[in-house]
Structure 1
């Protein structure tokens, strides 16, 4: 499914940083989701990290700080702060999911090497531990996804503001939050594995104005789903070991991307808090 963002424009010529934010929004907003490609997922995480570097520069602009610090805008600034906390929570859920899966993969690979791919009681127990851990991960993801569905669009207030520049700033920052949540939703769906029906992307359509929405069924299981399916059948084949190695490599990339993004999200939240406390 593809979706496209629509940003309001400043009444005068936009600041170069504002233009850069709009370009990032356009690129991330036009990407396909949910994705079955780990390369696409990692690319989105990397793009999102770079995007937040740009967002942080936007927060340093005097016009942005003035809008966020105005007493009449306190309600909307607090909404942005709450949103930044939600993003950190979702990012933390994704981090925990990949780290937990990584730990069980390493234990499983160790047992497979010790048994040289043969069947054993220890191997069976380790496989069962891995599959049980996946159930726990999926439950945590389902809870996080449910929380995402509870987020409602608050874009209507922007048109009610007497200050057009302030309204545009808040609108743009809300789009940043919406795009970020969409990328996280795609990642969580990827980690959880394919669903029996299309994912719940109503969140995106609510928070980001869209022109076109296209839903497509997943055509190929990703690395997580391939290992899940293989271990439910057997743990002896060479193919399983290869799939475990591919999944481990996939997780390593996601772990690095999430850690870097998490630090950037914290930096952005600190910038928001500093503006309010100035």
Structure 2
């Protein structure tokens, strides 16, 4: 018959095995409960669907039409994110990890969006002034040239602002860290993709970097062979920049009319950008407020 000490030892051993088993079960439950509920929740599924659509368009053309579609896509994404952040599972995930970092990231994105809005508004004003000058029949050549120079000067200021913003954007992109939380990882991916979209948008507004004469001469033969390059996607900002160069060397009624047409197209595109950025800005503010509410609970 086993002694009391042996029985106690066996009971302790049995209890330890049971506690160990319970801990493993609870740990597995904790580690699996949030990801599963996150994936199964309809809002989480909807967020991932928006992300998949935006991922598939990431390598697409950065034409004006593509950028407008992306702005609309990000509006839909952030609308869905705001709803997702109201869920208890989101509160649980963000209450313990990276909430401050995500809040800082949302502020940087709002600053970036605000910069883009300011640049678009500045370009809109200078475009309208140039359009008005070209439409006035009694205006002299000197006044037209003066307005053209004002527009070009405004574009130079915008490009400097964009260059600085793109530099800041690289810093933001390098700050992204890895997270073990599915929700945090998803929000960080949204932040990274939003940065990428703003990079495409600002680069489109700025236009291609001017090439040196040596670079141009090396490409002349290639450009002649690749005829399709002439039909490449040239956005409205670049078209006006090119048209103004022609306008500066050849002044005629035809050139004036072409210039007005280019400015009209640019005006319409700017309006699309202005509306899209304003809507996205409001959606991003709502998302930041939701993050802030979670952090202060």
Quote the RMSD (CA, aligned, Å).
2.1
Please give the per-residue CA displacement for 1:186-244, whole angstroms capped at 9, x wherever unaligned.
111111112469xxxxxxxxxxxxxxxxxx9x933210011011112216411111000
Counterpart pick for 1:240 among 239, 244, 259: 259
Equivalent in the alignment of 1:10: 35
Whether 2:275 is the aligned partner of 1:259: answer: no
Q: 1:33 to 1:196 in 2, by over 3 A?
A: farther
Q: Single out whichever of 32-41 and 46-55 deviates more from structure 2.
A: 32-41
Whether 2:120 is the aligned partner of 1:94: answer: no
Task: Give 1:89-168 correspondences, 5 Å limit.
Answer: 89-115=111-137, 120-151=141-172, 152=174, 154-156=176-178, 158-159=179-180, 167-168=181-182
Deviation, 1:119, is 5.7
Gaps of 5+ in 2: 1-33, 212-228
Structure 2 Cα separation of the partners of residues 109 and 223 of structure 1: 15
Whether 2:107 is the aligned partner of 1:82: answer: no
Q: 1:249 to 1:262 in 2, by over 3 A?
A: same
Structure 1 Cα separation of the partners of residues 111 and 183 of structure 2: 24
- The 8 Å contact of residues 103 and 291 in structure 2, kept in 1 or not, is answered as yes
Gaps of 5+ in 1: 1-8, 160-166, 198-215
Q: 1:196 to 1:11 in 2, by over 3 A?
A: farther
Greater C-alpha Rg: 2
Q: TM-score, normalised by structure 2?
A: 0.75
Counterpart pick for 1:38 among 27, 39, 64: 64
- The 8 Å contact of residues 81 and 272 in structure 1, kept in 2 or not, is answered as yes
Q: 1:34 to 1:121 in 2, by over 3 A?
A: farther
Please give the per-residue CA displacement for 1:55-110, whole angstroms capped at 9, x wherever unaligned.
0111011011122223xx2xx11110111011101111111111101101111111
Structure 1 Cα separation of the partners of residues 233 and 170 of structure 2: 26
> SS of the residue aligned with 1:87?
helix
Task: Give 1:215-226 correspondences, 5 Å limit.
Answer: 219-226=232-239
Task: Considering fraction of residues, name the structure with more helix.
Answer: 2
Please give the per-residue CA displacement for 1:160-189, whole angstroms capped at 9, x wherever unaligned.
xxxxxxx11110110110111111111111
**Count of residue correspondences:** 238
- The 8 Å contact of residues 62 and 200 in structure 2, kept in 1 or not, is answered as no
